[in-house]
C-alpha cells in the first residue's frame, strides 16, 4: 500500500479515537439518558387505575344506598366484567381456553370464583352500605398487609427480624393497623373544608353511625377473603397460567354463585331490574373500567415495571375517595379520620418498600 494511504488511514484512526475520547468526557445529552421502562405512561396508567377504583366505590355507595340489591349488582358486574375481558383473552391467549377443560384446573377456578370473588365482593358491598366510602376504601388498601400476615400464618413466607426489611414490614403493619383503630376510636373535630355538591349523606348519617360496627366487621371479613384470593391465585397460576381466561372464568363462576344465592334470598323480580339510570351506569362502569380496564393496565405496568410498582400507587385511592367523597357525597372529614388515614398510607408505603426488597430484579 502507498505511503500516503497509510498516512490517511492513521489520520482517520486518530480522529476516531479523539472523537471517542471527547464523547467519553462529554456530559450525556437528553437523547442518551436511559429512561425507565414505560416512561410517563406507567405512572399515568397507575393513577387511572386508582381513579377507576375510586369511581367504583363512590358509584356503588350511591346505588346501594338507594336500595339496589347487592347480589344483583355483583351478578351484573361479573357478567359485564367477563364480557369486557373476553376480547383480551381471544387476542392475547387465543387457544388457551381448551386447557381449562380439565378437572384439576376447573376445580381451582371454581374455588377461586367462590373464595376470591363472590365472597369478598358481596361482603365488601354489604359493608359499604353500613359505612362511608372514605372509610370503606381503607380496607382495600390493607389487603397486602393481611395477605402478608396470612402468608406468615401458613408458612408461605418467612419474616427475617434481623434485617432492615423485616423490621420495616412489622413497623408498616403496626402503623396501618393502628391507623385503622384511630379512625374507629377517635373522631375529633369535624373539618368543614368545602360544601358538598349532592349532600347525599345528610339523611343517612344516623343509620350509618348505628351500623358502623357491623360495617366494619363485614369490611374486615372482606379484606381477609381478598387476601385469601391472592394465596389461591398463586396456586391457580401454577396449574393454569393464562391470566385473561382465568380472570374471565372467575368472573363467570363468581357471578353464577352470586346469582344463585340472590335468587334464594330474594325472588322479587323488581330487585333485578336495570333501567336507564345510575344503576346501569354503575354496572357498565364496574365491568368496563373497574374490571377489564384496571386489570389490563395493571398487567401492562407489571410487565414494564415489575410486580412491586402497582401497589405503590394504591394509597392514592384513599386520597381520591376522601376528597371526592366529601365533595360529592358529603362524607364528614374529622381530625381522627385524617390522622388515621395518614397512618394507614404511611404504614402501607413502608411495608411495600420493605416488601419490594424481597423481590428479585427484573
* pLDDT, position 33: 41
Section 87-115 average pLDDT: 86
Among 2-16, 92-106, 110-124, 278-292, the minimum mean pLDDT is found in 2-16
> What's the pLDDT tens digit per position in 312-346?
787 888 888 888 888 887 777 888 888 988 888 88
Burial readout 325-345 (b: 16 or more C-beta within 10 A, e: otherwise): bbebbbbbbeebbeebbebbb
Orientation of helix 41-65 relative to helix 315-324, angle to 10°: 50
* Model confidence, pTM: 0.78
The whole-number average pLDDT for the span 264-277 is 87
Of 51, 46, 121, 55, the residue nearest 352 (C-alpha): 46
Contact partners, residue 303, CB within 8 Å, separation at least 6: none
> Is the model's pLDDT at 295 over the cut of 90?
no
Rg, Å, the chain Cα set? 26
Cell of 359: 423481590
pLDDT computed for residue 359 by the predictor: 58
Does residue 307 register a pLDDT over 70?
Answer: no
pLDDT (average), residues 261-266: 92
- All residues at 6 or more sequence positions from 120 whose CB lies less than 8 Å from its CB, including other chains: 222, 223, 225, 226, 229
196 pLDDT exceeds 90? no
3-state class of 163 per DSSP? coil
Q: Which residue in 347, 295, 38, 73 sits closest to 183, CA to CA?
A: 347
pLDDT at 281 over 50: yes
Q: Note whether 350 and 162 are within 8 A (CB).
A: no
Average the pLDDT over 294-314 and give the result. Answer: 77
**pLDDT, tens digit, for every residue of 197-248?**
655 444 554 445 457 789 999 999 999 998 888 778 778 888 888 888 888 8
Cell numbers found for residue 8: 490517511
pLDDT of res. 358? 65
pLDDT in tens, 141-180: 888 788 788 877 877 667 777 788 888 888 888 888 888 8
Residue 7 has a pLDDT of 44
> Is the predicted pLDDT of residue 13 greater than 80, yes or no?
no
27-84 pLDDT per residue, tens = 444 444 444 455 778 888 888 999 999 999 999 998 998 889 999 999 999 999 999 9
- Whether pLDDT at 26 is above 50: no
Amino acid at each position: 500500500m502507498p505511503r500516503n494511504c497509510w498516512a490517511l488511514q492513521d489520520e482517520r484512526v486518530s480522529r476516531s479515537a479523539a472523537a471517542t475520547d471527547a464523547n467519553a468526557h462529554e456530559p450525556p445529552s437528553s437523547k442518551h439518558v436511559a429512561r425507565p421502562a414505560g416512561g410517563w405512561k406507567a405512572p399515568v396508567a397507575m393513577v387511572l387505575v386508582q381513579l377507576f377504583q375510586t369511581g367504583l366505590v363512590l358509584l356503588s355507595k350511591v346505588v346501594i344506598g338507594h336500595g339496589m340489591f347487592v347480589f344483583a349488582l355483583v351478578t351484573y358486574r361479573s357478567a359485564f366484567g367477563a364480557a369486557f375481558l373476553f376480547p383480551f383473552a381471544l387476542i392475547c391467549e387465543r387457544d388457551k381456553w381448551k386447557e381449562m377443560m380439565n378437572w384439576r384446573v376447573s376445580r381451582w377456578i371454581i374455588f377461586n370464583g367462590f373464595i376470591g370473588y363472590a365472597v369478598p365482593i358481596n361482603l365488601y358491598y354489604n359493608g359499604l352500605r353500613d359505612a362511608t366510602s372514605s372509610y370503606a376504601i381503607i380496607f382495600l388498601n390493607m389487603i397486602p398487609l393481611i395477605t402478608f400476615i396470612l402468608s406468615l400464618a401458613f408458612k408461605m413466607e418467612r419474616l427475617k427480624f434481623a434485617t432492615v426489611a423485616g423490621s420495616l414490614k412489622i413497623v408498616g403493619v403496626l402503623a396501618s393497623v393502628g391507623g385503622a383503630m384511630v379512625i374507629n376510636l377517635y373522631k375529633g373535630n369535624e373539618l368543614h373544608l368545602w360544601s358538598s355538591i349532592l349532600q347525599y349523606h345528610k339523611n343517612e348519617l344516623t343509620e350509618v353511625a348505628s351500623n358502623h360496627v357491623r360495617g366494619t366487621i363485614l369490611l374486615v371479613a372482606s379484606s381477609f377473603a381478598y387476601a385469601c384470593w391472592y394465596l389461591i391465585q398463586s396456586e391457580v397460576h401454577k396449574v393454569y397460567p393464562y391470566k385473561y381466561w382465568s380472570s374471565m372464568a372467575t368472573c363467570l363462576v363468581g357471578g353464577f354463585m352470586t346469582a344463585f344465592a340472590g335468587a334464594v334470598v330474594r325472588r322479587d323480580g323488581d330487585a333485578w331490574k336495570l333501567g336507564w339510570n345510575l344503576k346501569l351506569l354503575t354496572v357498565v362502569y364496574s365491568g368496563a373500567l373497574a374490571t377489564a380496564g384496571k386489570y389490563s393496565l395493571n398487567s401492562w405496568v407489571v410487565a414494564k415495571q415489575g410486580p412491586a410498582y402497582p401497589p405503590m400507587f394504591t394509597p392514592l385511592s384513599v386520597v381520591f375517595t376522601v376528597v371526592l367523597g366529601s365533595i360529592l357525597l358529603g362524607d364528614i372529614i374529622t381530625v381522627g379520620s385524617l390522622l388515621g388515614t395518614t397512618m394507614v398510607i404511611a404504614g402501607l408505603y413502608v411495608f411495600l418498600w420493605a416488601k419490594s426488597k424481597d423481590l428479585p430484579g427484573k
